[in-house]
A and B are shown apart, each in its own frame.
Chain A
């Protein structure tokens, strides 16, 4: 039940992020969610796109440093307390969250959390048991 996330290495210099987004827009890639982790020297841009396979081959062609990771996209009710609830469930089940970020869509009921964990299968099982809905790659397109 995992979805593909693209991470790109960016040197921490002005214009680098813009260079990358130019490439994506040239090829009409639609970004659905974005997060940028920064350190002193470099940034890791993480994006959820409509077509991860096409994006990967574009990045390969322009010789960008990138990787494709499988992450979980969990739907949570778009109301106060939802986020706390899911996080507590992960903690109680000893699931370490490497990183996370959110995105919302035009649908008003749910907000979506991208979760990067060690073991997607175990985590999916835990979340499903607690009544959380996980979004698949195909469903993501329609959101």
Chain B
């Protein structure tokens, strides 16, 4: 029997969703135009007035918001309410340049708590559950986002944050955590540590996990489910739009439902900006129609995905999005073909290689070449040359099939690819293109 945190919204007939979105969008555009001079200028330059936006069908007329705009207005230039109404600030990691700063009013936080509570209920949690929040607490939206939702639900919330893995396992055992919330790679690490301590999933009480904040493959999901004895659910979000909870996976586990009463999602062609029909892969764009402090309109996420509306077995009517399939900003173009390193990573993981790899791009005699160095696991080694060459061949073919172009794969010894503290350096582009 499927349960919903907010049945009225989550199972609203599609026509009513669109009406609701249209109403909210109109109000939001007026709010932004009057209170955010930066975006008002963008609208003026595009020749658009708030009265031109009569509903969702006019959304495409609005100018896009880019990450660059957020950097240019650091820290509070896009805030739409006075600072005294902003009761929370968060920021994103900012791997290139300054951090992206976002703010929330009390009502914004209420919305956030609610949408995360929807995710918790979708994975089968209720007030009797013990939620183990192992996302980092701090400026990062992961920890406090799941915390707010769990508390709103009325479940017992443990603000463990990340790190101190042996202690996490003690807490899992002794506190009886039933739902684990952390990044998928941390879940994998927790499970490795669990087993290295001589324990198994029988020694902990988890029934479900809510994983996000980074890309993860079906193979990783399967491994986590097997090793921890849970059902593993995907959650999507980004700091600029809200934090975790922009969309959420349900029991059907085929795509994530977007909280359409708060966000309008579009998919666009990243090169032309043209809005694409449902079912066509493109860049995901979100418009916040209820947030007051930091309401972005048509924000280009740089995530590539697909939107699709279908009758879901869970009964929710919200549109779904696929797992993001790559990033437009990681994208490199080799011999005219757009290549996303994250797609390569997915192939490597499917074929059983750990995700330590590096892509080296060169231009030799005016032709682009791509070489991929992949770290081997000890058990993949053989005393026979033919076996290793066979592995390289298998990888080369899999990548050719994925990308449509030939890239040479080289197996290398473990730990020869430099590790970095934060984001891994996946691509070394030796071409001097600019």
- Residues of A that sit less than 8 Å from B by CB: 5, 7, 9, 11, 37, 39, 41-42, 44, 46, 63-67, 69, 98-99, 116
B57 within 8 Å of A by Cβ?
no
CA distance A36 to B382 in the complex (A): 14
How far, in angstroms, from A99 to B378 measured CA to CA in the complex? 22
Given contacts A11-B413, A65-B376, contact A39 B383 (CB under 8 A): no
Q: Are A66 and B381 in contact (CB under 8 A)?
A: yes
Can you give 26 contacting A-B residue pairs, CB < 8 Å?
A: A5-B383, A7-B381, A9-B376, A9-B388, A9-B413, A11-B416, A39-B388, A39-B389, A41-B392, A41-B411, A42-B410, A42-B411, A44-B385, A63-B415, A64-B413, A65-B381, A65-B413, A66-B378, A66-B381, A67-B381, A67-B382, A67-B383, A98-B384, A99-B384, A99-B385, A116-B384
Q: Which single member of A7, A11, A42 contacts B383 (CB below 8 Å)?
A: A7
1/0 contact trace for B388-428 toward A, CB 8 Å? Answer: 11001000000000000000001111111000000000000
Q: A9-B381, A39-B388, A64-B413 are in contact. List 10 more A-B contacts (CB 8 A).
A: A7-B382, A9-B413, A11-B413, A41-B392, A41-B410, A42-B410, A65-B413, A67-B383, A116-B383, A116-B384
B409 to A, closest residue via Cβ: A41
Please report the C-alpha to C-alpha distance between residue A74 and residue B378 in the assembled complex, in whole angstroms.
Answer: 30
A99 and B388 CA atoms in complex are apart in Å by: 15
**How many angstroms between the C-alpha atoms of A66 and B410 in the bound complex?**
17
In the A-B complex, the 3 residue pairs with the smallest Cβ-Cβ separation, listed nearest first, are: A7-B383, A69-B383, A65-B381
Separation in Å of the A58 CB from the closest CB of chain B?
Answer: 14
Q: Which residue of B lies closest to A71 (CB)?
A: B383
Partner of A46, one of B381, B383, B416: B383
- Report Cα–Cα, A5/B385, bound state, in Å: 15
| Residues on A with beta carbons closer than 8 Å to the beta carbon of B378 | 65-66
- Closest CB of chain A to B360's CB: distance in Å? 13
Given A11-B416, A65-B376, A65-B378, CB of A44 within 8 Å of CB of B383 = yes
A62 to chain B, nearest CB (A): 11
Task: Give the complex CA separation of A9 and B411 in angstroms.
Answer: 10
Give CA–CA (A66, B415) in the complex, Å.
Answer: 15
Contact with A along B357-392 (1 / 0, CB 8 A): 000000000000000000010100111110011001
Q: In whole angstroms, what is the CA distance A65 to B416 when docked?
A: 12
- The answer on a CB contact under 8 Å between B414 and A65 is yes
CB-CB < 8 A to B416: which residues of A? Answer: 11
CB closest residue in chain B, given A68: B383
Task: For A67, list chain B residues within 8 Å (CB).
Answer: 381-383
CA distance A45 to B423 in the complex (A): 35
Chain B residues with CB under 8 A of A5: 383
How far, in angstroms, from A7 to B387 measured CA to CA in the complex?
13
**Closest residue on chain B to residue A39 by CB atoms:** B385
B291 vs chain A, min Cβ distance (A): 49
- Report B277-304 CB contacts with A as 1/0, cut-off 8 Å: 0000000000000000000000000000
- A120 to B184 alpha-carbon distance, docked (Å): 44
What residues of chain A lie closer than 8 Å to B384, measured between beta carbons? 44, 98-99, 116
- Chain B residues with Cβ below 8 Å from A7 are 381-383
Residues of A within 8 A of B410 (CB): 41-42
- Report the bound CA distance from A64 to B413 in whole Å: 8
In the complex, the answer to whether A42 meets B414 with C-beta atoms within 8 Å is no
Closest chain A residue, CB of each to CB of B377: A65
Q: CB-CB < 8 A to A41: which residues of B?
A: 392, 410-411
For A5, A7, A9, A116, the residue with the greatest tally of chain B CB atoms inside 10 Å of its CB is A9
Chain B residue, CB-CB nearest to A6: B383
Chain B, residues 88-125, CB within 8 Å of chain A (1/0): the string is 00000000000000000000000000000000000000
- Min CB–CB distance A26 → chain B (angstroms): 19
Bound together, the chains give a CA A41 to CA B388 distance in angstroms of: 11
Min CB–CB distance A114 → chain B (angstroms): 11
B383 touches A63 (CB 8 A): no
B415 nearest in chain A by CB position: A63
Which chain A residues lie closer than 8 Å to B385 at the CB level?
Answer: 37, 39, 44, 99
CB <8 Å contact, B415 and A44 = no
CB-based contact B414/A11 at 8 Å: no
**Residues in A whose Cβ lies below 8 Å from that of B411:** 41-42
Residue of A with least CB distance to B376: A65
- From residue B77, how far is it (CB to closest CB) to chain A in Å? 50
Contact between chains at B388 and A44 (CB < 8 Å): yes
Complex: A69 Cα to B384 Cα, angstroms: 10
CA distance A130 to B376 in the complex (A): 42
A65 to B157, CA, bound (A): 44
Give CA–CA (A23, B426) in the complex, Å. Answer: 31
The distance from the CB of B28 to the nearest CB of chain A, in whole angstroms, is 56
Please name all residues of chain B whose beta carbon is closer than 8 Å to the beta carbon of A65 when the two chains form the complex.
Answer: 376, 378, 381, 413-414
Measured CA separation A98–B412 after assembly (Å): 23
The CA of A37 and the CA of B383, in the complex, are separated in Å by 10
In the bound complex, CA of A11 to CA of B381 (Å): 13
Of all chain B residues, which has the CB nearest A69?
A: B383
Closest A residue to B410 by beta carbon equals: A41
In the complex, which residues of chain B have a beta carbon less than 8 angstroms from the beta carbon of A37?
A: 385
CA distance in complex: A37, B381 (Å): 14
**A37 (CB) vs chain B CBs: closest residue:** B385
Give Cα A63 to B378, complex, Å: 9
Of the candidates B378, B392, B411, the one having the most CB atoms from chain A within 10 angstroms of its own CB is B378
